[in-house]
Structure formats: C-alpha cells, structure tokens
Amino acid sequence: MTARSIFALTRLAAAAVCLAALIHRLAWGLSSQTIAGQNFLAYLTVQSNCAFVLLLIVAGVIAFRRQADPRWLTIALAMVLTWTITAGLAFALIVWQAGLRGIRVDVPWSDQVMHFWLPACTALAWTLTPGHRRVSWWVVPASLAYPLLWGAVTMWRGPLIGWYPYYFLDPRQVSGFGEFAVTAAIALAIFAAVATVLVIISRVRPFSWSRGSGRHEEPE
C-alpha cells in the first residue's frame, strides 16, 4: 500500500470520527432540553465541522484515485482548516473565560474531539500531506468571508430568539459595543493568522511530496 493510499484511509477515518462526534454532540445537546441544544447547527464549530466531514470524504476518494490533490481541494482544505482550528482556539478561550467568571461549561468527549483533537491532528497532517499543492495568499482574506457572514446572520437572529451561540456576541453579557468590537476584531485576526500560517506551511515546507515525485507545481 502506498503512502498516498494510507493517507486516503486516514482522511476517511478522520471523517468518520468527526461525524461520530457531531452525532454525539447533537444527542447530548438535545438531551439537555435547552435553547442551546435546540440550536445545534447555529454554532460555527458545528457548521465548519460538517463541511470538514464532507470535504474529508471527497479528499479521501480523490487520494485513492490521484497522486496529487487538485488545486481547488487544497484551497478548500485550507479554508475549512482555518475555520475548524480557529473555532478550537476560540472554544479554549471561552472555557477559560467561563472559569474566570465562575460559569460552568461542560465539555463532553465530542466537543473535545471537534475543538481540540481533530484540529490538532489535521494541522499536523497539513504539513505531511502527500501530493499537496501550494496555497495562494488570496486565501487569507477569502477565509474571512464565512466568519463574517456567519457573524452577520447570528447578530440578526440573536435578538429574534433571545440567544447567541457565544457569550461575547450577546449584548447582555458584554460591557458594551467597545468590548464586542474588540472581541470580534480579535476573532477575525485569529482567523487571518491561522490562514496565514497554513499558507506559509504549504509554500515553504522543506520536503514536498509533489516536488519529490518529479511533478511540477501548477503556476499560481
């Protein structure tokens, strides 16, 4: 079995683990009978991980069929990884802040998988992917489009249902517009920073499988 085939199986296995975590998190949330559980799909983490599952399945199939990922797949992976990794970092900060405020936050195994383990493993895999393509710099600003759209919809929907997926978006839980604006700016900066790191890794890693196999990178 080739390294590419092993990596294809790894992608499919990661998709299965992520899907299992999503299903468990949905069941766990619904069992709590809270508005948060009923709004499972409103979380950026959940949405980005749903996209991650679908993309990993596609990527796994492609890895079985081709020795190199098409450029569109590498770009899509860069964007989805930006969202999942940033969501994990944000969740860690939320749990930490909640502890400082004396607010209890339960973290089931499914949350740990989606927020911590899968982002960490996929970030490592990003540096080792056989048949990887270089990512263009325009991916950094493009990766902000989804968080901005998600934020706009969330802020429009929040007052209608009286609930926000993250406390720092709720006007009732922040000191004012200033704290909200600063927090939102920091969140976008983290998205941009993560995307930048992923782009740099794709362009400067010393041992490129695609170069090592004798194929030339497509021009940007």
Residue pLDDT, tens place only, 37-68 = 789 899 999 999 999 999 999 999 999 998 88
pTM comes to 0.84
pLDDT at 105: 67
Long-range contacts of 146-153 (CB under 8 A, 24+ apart): 146/48, 146/79, 146/83, 147/44, 147/83, 147/86, 147/187, 147/188, 147/191, 148/188, 150/44, 150/47, 151/184
- Model confidence band, residue 151 (pLDDT cutoffs 50, 70, 90): very high
220 vs 49: which has the higher pLDDT = 49
pLDDT at 112: 87
Of 53, 52, 115, nearest to 81 by C-alpha is 52
Task: Dump pLDDT digits (tens) for 56-112.
Answer: 999 999 999 988 889 999 999 999 999 999 988 888 777 776 666 666 667 788 988
